[in-house]
């Protein structure tokens, strides 16, 4: 299922460690998309029909996903980040703590699990720093 106009998703709280983020691809590598059946969780729940009196469905099974074979990945490649917004220029605080101008989350630019050096992991926003007083 190829999505040419994917919605902006906030699915990356931390960067995947098995993906390299470099300037070759604008810190937005192509990766295998999440499995459409299990959404990358590798397993999914099976529920009963809702109880007619309570309206509550009971979980009866949690089993490995046969669509992706338990890998959690679909077979199509999609850009890691959906955010194509123009880079935003901000002043970098001396302590490295920044509030993202896109999604508003605070993060430390020294934490490479949440910052690629060009994009914020959570929202994919490209951020350019001013480091000295102009």
**Contact call for residue 38 and Zn ion (CB under 5 A):** yes
Q: Minimum CB separation from Zn ion for residue 71, in Å?
A: 7
Q: Which of 15, 65, 98, 127 binds Zn ion (CB under 5 A)?
A: 65
DSSP label of 119: B
Site map (CB under 5 A) of Zn ion, residues 76-105, x = contact: ------------------------x-xx--
Neighbouring CB atoms inside 10 A of 3's CB total 10
Q: How many CB atoms lie within 10 A of CB 120?
A: 25
Contact window for Zn ion (CB under 5 A) among 13-21, 25-33, 64-72, 81-89: 64-72
What sign results for the dihedral spanned by CA atoms 78, 81, 39, 14? positive
Residue 120 near Zn ion by CB under 5 A: yes
Cβ contacts of 80 within 8 Å, gap of 6 or more: 12, 16, 19, 21, 28, 29, 30, 31, 124
Does position 114 bind Zn ion by CB under 5 A? no
Helix (H, G, I), strand (E, B) or coil at 79: strand
Segment interacting with Zn ion, rule: CB under 5 A, options 9-17, 30-38, 56-64, 110-118: 30-38
- Binding residues (CB under 5 A) for Zn ion: these are 35, 37-38, 65, 67-68, 100, 102-103, 120, 122-123, 125
């Amino acid at each position: 299922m190829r999505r040419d106009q994917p919605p902006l998703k906030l699915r990356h709280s931390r960067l995947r460690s098995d993906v390299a983020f470099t300037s070759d691809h604008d810190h937005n590598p192509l990766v295998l998309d999440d499995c459409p059946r299990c959404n990358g969780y590798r397993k999914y729940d099976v529920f009963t029909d809702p109880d007619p009196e309570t309206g509550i469905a009971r979980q009866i099974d949690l089993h490995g996903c046969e669509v992706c074979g338990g890998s959690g990945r679909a077979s199509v490649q999609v850009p890691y980040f959906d955010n194509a917004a123009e880079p935003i220029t901000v002043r970098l605080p001396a302590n490295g703590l920044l509030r993202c101008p896109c999604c508003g989350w605070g993060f430390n630019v020294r934490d490479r699990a949440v910052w690629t050096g060009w994009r914020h992991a959570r929202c994919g926003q490209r951020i350019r720093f001013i480091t000295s007083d102009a």
